[in-house]
Structure 1
Amino acid sequence: MAVEVFLKENYTVTDWSGGTTTQMYIFPENAEYNKRNFKLRLSSATVKTPVSEFTDLKNIDRILMSLNKKIELEHNKQEKVILKPFEAYYFSGGDKTMSYGCCEDFNVMLKHGSYNKAKLFLNEAGQFDLYGDADECFLYVYKGEYKVITQDGSSYTLQALHMMHLDDFSAGKIIRLDMQSKMVVCKINW
């Protein structure tokens, strides 16, 4: 099992047409977002303009989750979707996508055809058993603080804006240390 913890200082922040984006993880490590040569990218964006156009990400599958406010997405000037906070929404990065509303969000970007299954969900439970039913797992603390105990008994404390990457793990336990805490969990099977 491999465990890695990422702190806010490790992230890369850049501007996009609607605000800022914070890249927390990219794989492979030498991949570059601008070259679109990544297999996986995890980021959080701040949407600051009421109307914005998403970057064209052809051949990239996306999962988007608003972390604090409702937004509306429109794909290809046809399909409209209202996304409530902490709902995971799957769509093609190649769709011409407009966003209406301001929010903070969590983004999962996966090279199309490179994975078998990806799941993104919110954990608000006081205690949460983390099963090893995925090849990789990412834990992102949006608010508050959590204790993570891996199957081998190692213990980690994650605070707001920390992210943990578990690779080749079997199981673990997550304990919320603050009643207002919110954690986003992303599991991927390759």
Structure 2
Amino acid sequence: MWKGGTTRQIFISPADGDLAARRFDLRISSAIIELTESDFSDFTGFTRYILPLEGEITLLKDGRRIPLSHNELYRFEGNEVVSSENTKGAIDFNIIVRHGIDVEVGIVQDECFSDSRKTVVFALEDIFVDGERIGKYDTATLAKPFCLKGKAAIARFVG
């Protein structure tokens, strides 16, 4: 729970990381936003990425309104003062990365990866990873070469 809704932690590294203490390198989560307006917490020392999954989310930052795309992760710094206007019940996907940690994030479709970097795959639709079905909004964590069929958000890193 947080003041704006309910959050589901999908992944944290290291495994014993602590969000409240800001003792983690990478955190991936999804939230159901119950409020139509909310403020983002301060995560100084981190870079943040957000993607609306359901409903609409518009960020308010530096006096600008930034409607978020359902097809692109939006990046901002954790120390920026950001609030949002949301469709009640909107669902988002979030990645928070500590500065200095080398993480590749993005949205991919029908792609193969030939190295063994640890990869968190979050299915944006029903997908297949090496022929195994992963349901929409489910996650797979891999540390080997793989092929993905369908659309997913990924975070790839050495760890």
Superposed pair shares fold, TM > 0.5: yes
- Listed as ranges, the gaps of 5+ residues in structure 2 are none
Could you tell me which amino acid in structure 1 is paired with residue 55 of structure 2? K
Aligned residues: 157
Aligned to 1:7: none
TM-score, structure 1 normalization: 0.73
3-state SS in 2 of match to 1:184: strand
Q: Establish whether residue 174 from structure 1 lines up as the match of residue 143 from structure 2.
A: no
Aligned to 1:31: 17
Aligned to 1:147: 128
Is contact 2:105–2:153 with CA below 8 Å preserved after alignment? no
Q: 2:82 aligns with which of 93, 97, 101?
A: 97
1:138-165: CA deviations, max 9, x gaps? Answer: 211244x33211xxxxx53312332111
Structure (1 or 2) with the larger CA radius of gyration: 1
Q: What is the Cα deviation at residue 187 of structure 1?
A: 3.1
- Write the distance in 2 (CA, Å) between the matches of 1:91 and 1:189: 22
Aligned to 2:45: 59
Aligned to 1:164: 140
Could you tell me which amino acid in structure 2 is paired with residue 158 of structure 1? I
- Listed as ranges, the gaps of 5+ residues in structure 1 are 1-14, 150-154, 177-181
CA distance 1:105–1:25, shift in 2 (3 Å): same
Is contact 1:119–1:188 with CA below 8 Å preserved after alignment? no
Is contact 1:31–1:37 with CA below 8 Å preserved after alignment? yes
Q: Give the alignment of 1:11-90 within 5 angstroms.
A: 15-75=1-61, 77-90=62-75
1:57-111: CA deviations, max 9, x gaps? Answer: 1111111111123321122x43432112132111011111101113211111100
Could you tell me which amino acid in structure 1 is paired with residue 153 of structure 2? V
- Write the distance in 2 (CA, Å) between the matches of 1:140 and 1:133: 18
TM-score, structure 2 normalization: 0.85
CA distance 1:19–1:122, shift in 2 (3 Å): farther
Could you tell me which amino acid in structure 2 is paired with residue 174 of structure 1? L
